[in-house]
Amino acid sequence: MRRALTTTLAVLVVLVAGGGAAGFWYLRASLPATDGELTVQGISGPVDILRDQDHIPHIYAQTKADALYGLGYVHAQDRLWQMEFQRRIGFGRLSE
């Protein structure tokens, strides 16, 4: 009886630890890449997006239009789920 309880407890601990590790890995993989370089069309010059130690983006561009493009990119990178949620609310299609 005691051996079965110990075995069951050990299996349960392994399953919980494995599930926690898998959940952490899955959620970590869904975070956006915030470093690196990306080339896009539609802007007239380079746009630098730097994040400080608190992950607050700082956008540097030569023109206002390019800076706004960078701002839109950062918004989509950080809050795409919220933008999609609000869009569905506006169209009345939240349940889809």
Q: Where are the alpha helices (DSSP H) in 1-96?
A: 2-29, 64-91
Handedness of CA 69, 74, 77, 81 (dihedral sign): negative
Q: The pTM is what?
A: 0.64
4 and 46 assigned to the same domain:
no
Does residue 94 have a pLDDT over 90? no
Which has the higher per-residue pLDDT, 19 or 29?
Answer: 19
The whole-number pLDDT of residue 51 equals 93
Structural domain boundaries enclosing 14 = 1-31
22 and 1 assigned to the same domain:
yes
59 and 92 assigned to the same domain:
yes
6 and 44 assigned to the same domain:
no
CA separation (Å) from 47 to 16, 31, 40, 88?
Answer: 44, 22, 10, 30
**Strongest mean pLDDT among 19-23, 31-35, 48-52:** 48-52
CA nearest neighbour of 67 among 41, 43, 40: 43
60 and 22 assigned to the same domain:
no
| CATH number for the domain that contains residue 95 | 1.10.439.10
Number of folded domains that form the chain: 2
pLDDT tens digit sequence for 41-85: 889 999 999 999 998 999 999 999 999 999 999 999 989 999 999
